[in-house]
């Protein structure tokens, strides 16, 4: 088997939402994430592709949405990622409870999971979100934001939950990525990326809690894992092929290069490069401020801009 480099964490998570305006307000004003990229679905330029992350839009912080105002309601299902979790500093949940009450957003908890304090809530489309107090994320640089202060603000993903029919094959794949089993609690099997602390380092495997759900808003389309560059990605294409998977050809996503494959429980996995990142076409200061279009749609910019619903300026200013 070839020696592909270990996979250091989650790169991004992509999900389906309803109204882009409602999605935008929730992720910027309730979760306090930065709006890092406003672009369109490359296959359908009259639909947004919205990205929210931390200040730098670092790999391991970005959740992306394809918002379709009239899409059917989805429900979580086995063979899918069913929850995203965000890492906040140790002690930060107190500030979150006050903030969510002020925003009129209901939540459950805090409760204890693997010795960490966790709060659970849902986004407006029903996507399950956890906020996890994690001392390991406090080192992630965090500039001033207006929504939540430094003691509470999200630093990036803590991890994600995958609902599987059989834990074995997905666990084996994570182990091939270089991840290791950490602990099991109440049916949740926790795997951790090499290097331990930081953002996007945890995958929780849960065996069949959801059964047959359906695709639609409030569901996660795929989860992407990170590699530094195209060379590492190519090594993974070889390795995955040797392991019996069928990765796609490399897809140009402008901010990263992507390959996709279905792991053995049916979850769509992506392997994405850290290079070039979200600063490929905007500076750190400008991230998310303009509608970014691929070159082939530029001649149609006016028509596209007129067709897309307006999103007001993010509340967090830089």
Q: Which residues bind Zn ion (CB under 5 A)?
A: 14, 224, 270
Q: Cβ 251 to Zn ion, closest distance in Å?
A: 9
61 versus 116: smaller Cβ distance to Zn ion: 61
**Least distance CB 221 / Zn ion (angstroms):** 8
Q: Which of 27, 96 has the CB closer to Zn ion?
A: 27
Alpha carbons 207 and 172: distance in angstroms, whole number: 14
CB of 86 to Zn ion, least distance (A): 18
CB of 103 to Zn ion, least distance (A): 28
Residue 248: CB minimum distance to Zn ion, A: 12
Number of neighbours of residue 213 by Cβ within 10 angstroms:
17
Between 55 and 226, name the residue whose CB sits nearer to Zn ion: 226
Q: Minimum distance from CB of 48 to Zn ion (Å)?
A: 15
Q: Name the residue nearer to Zn ion (CB basis): 65 or 96.
A: 65
| Closer residue to Zn ion (CB): 14 or 116 | 14
Minimal CA–CA distance to 5: which of 224, 169, 229? 229
In whole angstroms, the minimum distance from the beta carbon of 270 to Zn ion comes to 5
> 12 or 117, CB closer to Zn ion?
12
- Pick between residue 131 and residue 272 the one whose CB is nearest to Zn ion: 272
């Amino acid at each position: 088997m070839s020696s592909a480099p270990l996979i250091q964490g989650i790169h991004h998570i992509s999900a389906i939402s309803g109204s882009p305006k409602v999605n935008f307000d929730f992720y910027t004003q309730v979760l306090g994430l930065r709006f890092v990229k406003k672009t369109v679905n490359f296959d359908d330029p009259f639909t947004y592709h919205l990205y929210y992350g931390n200040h730098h839009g670092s790999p391991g912080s970005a959740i992306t949405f394809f918002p379709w105002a009239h899409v059917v309601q989805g429900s979580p299902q086995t063979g899918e990622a069913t929850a995203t979790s965000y890492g906040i500093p140790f002690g930060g949940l107190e500030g979150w409870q006050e903030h969510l009450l002020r925003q009129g957003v209901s939540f459950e908890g805090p409760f204890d999971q693997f010795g960490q304090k966790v709060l659970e809530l849902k986004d407006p489309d029903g996507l399950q979100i956890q906020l996890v107090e994690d001392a390991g994320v406090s080192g992630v640089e965090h500039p001033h934001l207006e929504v939540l202060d430094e003691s509470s603000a999200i630093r990036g993903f803590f991890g994600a939950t995958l609902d599987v029919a059989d834990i074995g094959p997905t666990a084996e794949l994570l182990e091939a990525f270089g991840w290791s089993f950490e602990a099991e609690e109440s049916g949740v099997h926790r795997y951790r990326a090499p290097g331990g602390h930081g953002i996007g380092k945890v995958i929780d495997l849960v065996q069949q809690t959801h059964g047959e759900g359906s695709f639609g808003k409030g569901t996660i389309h795929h989860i992407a894992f990170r590699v530094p560059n195209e060379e590492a990605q190519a090594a993974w294409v070889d390795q995955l092929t040797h392991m019996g998977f069928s990765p796609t050809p490399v897809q140009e996503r402008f901010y990263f290069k992507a390959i996709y494959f279905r792991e053995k429980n049916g979850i769509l996995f992506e392997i994405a490069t850290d290079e070039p990142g979200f600063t490929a076409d905007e500076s750190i200061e400008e991230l998310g401020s303009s509608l970014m279009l691929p070159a082939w749609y530029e001649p149609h910019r006016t028509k596209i801009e007129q067709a897309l619903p307006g999103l007001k300026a993010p509340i967090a200013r830089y």
